[in-house]
Amino acid sequence: MVIVLNKDLHDSSRFLSDDPLFLFHLPLETISTSFLRENIKEREGNEGNRKHSSWTSGHSGRKFVLGALLPRTWHPARWLNTSSSAANNSFDTFFSEGSSGKYVPRALFVDLEPTVIDEVRTGSYKKLFNPKQLISGKEDAANNFARGHYTVGREVIDHCVDRVRLLADDCSNLQGFMVFNAVGGGTGSGLGSLLLERLSAEYGKTLKLGFTIFPSPKNLNRLISQTISSLTTSLRFDGSMNVDISEFQTNLVPFPRIHFMLSSYAPIISSARAHYELCSVPEITKAVFEPSRMMAKCDPSRGKYMACCLMYRGDIAPKDVNQAVRSIKTKKSVQFVDWCPTGFKCGINYQAPFAVPGGDLAKTKRAVCMISNNTAVSEVFSRIDHKFDTMFAKRAFVHWYLGEGMEEGEFSEAREDLAALEKDYEEVLQDGQQDEEY
């Protein structure tokens, strides 16, 4: 799924894959945050195993769009009316007004096989989306990156780029793109990287904010959409930080290749326990630094932070934020590289978090989402390396890739690029440790 972001002129306001080939094709101007809390033994993607069909990026992207509508007056039986959003100009960031005066998401849904897209076409929210922005092919990528990137994917890529171009032309001031993709199969990884390459060729250094999802338990889609909603709150409402997509790069990316972010969210409270849980500002601030709250499987305490943005929303007092941050700074588990002594950047948005009615997550008065650049993300790369090396040493499944037009040298080239990326993060960590010794 691709969302094209418009910047209202009147408003003040990770890509990671189980396949290193996807990382190799990732443009440098893509800022990536990952949702990879995978069970390492779960290898199937949405194309290869239909039991995961309800956990794809299309569903996460759709839930994000619906989450953006929760604060509005909207019903699935009708399109969004301008009267429900007139009070907030930044609503145009994600939605465009049609000739009939109705608002529709500036979003494109793509899949190489029709099953998931057909659920959007015929589902309860079919009147929300423009049918021309729902693209599906006739056959899937069969869990094969090469099919998504070189053969089947190329049959639909021109149509995808044409639709993105129309959405971008509709923007009065193009901010950038948000790209949602699942990497358990060949479509999200292969076609996803191909689309990013085409966007980079056509739109140069226009920023792309990537959200990559690995197959995981079904309830995680709600949590992912809640996290993304918090990350983009200031794009949709008045805010003090990250009100423009370019600020994500300014605040978080110190070097061009170091653009893989970690994100976390708190509080995570089930509806059944909502009356027993406390969610004070210090408690939720402490919680977002815990490894169990990270959306990618790694321990940030083993690495060092290069940048950290804390985005609060709801009933938040600035003095409580200052007190919570001071408390975190005293903990040795949260360490920054020597050349980034200021550390935290905090933003407050007074729009309360919304929970999906009838969902498993309880509605809370306040929440915080952290997006950070931490050297510990290299743990994810190391796991990919290990799995790739084990399989490639036996040339397992390589013939399926070669049969779709890939060359064997591309595997080695992608592996070397991933090793270089790990080395970059290692050097950042070592530089910080050497500075401390001096």
Give me the active site residues, please. Answer: 247
Strand pairing partners for 31?
A: 209
Beta strands 207-213; 174-182: pairing state: parallel
Tell whether the torsion through CA atoms of 80, 86, 87 and 90 is positive or negative: positive
Helix H or strand E encompassing 135: strand 134-136
Instruction: Give yes or no for a contact between 144 and 46, defined as CB atoms under 8 angstroms apart.
Output: no
SS3 of 136-158: the string is ECCCCCCCCHHHHHCCCCHHHHH
Instruction: Give yes or no for a contact between 348 and 321, defined as CB atoms under 8 angstroms apart.
Output: yes
**Distances in Å between the alpha carbon of 107 and those of 21, 110, 204, 238, 294?**
26, 10, 20, 22, 27
Q: Residue 303 carries which DSSP code?
A: S
Burial of residue 302 (CB within 10 Å: 0-12, 13-18, 19+) is: middle
Helix H or strand E encompassing 108: strand 107-111
Both tokens of 327, joined, read 């408390």
Instruction: Give yes or no for a contact between 351 and 314, defined as CB atoms under 8 angstroms apart.
Output: yes
Q: How many helices (H) and strands (E) does the chain have?
A: 15, 13
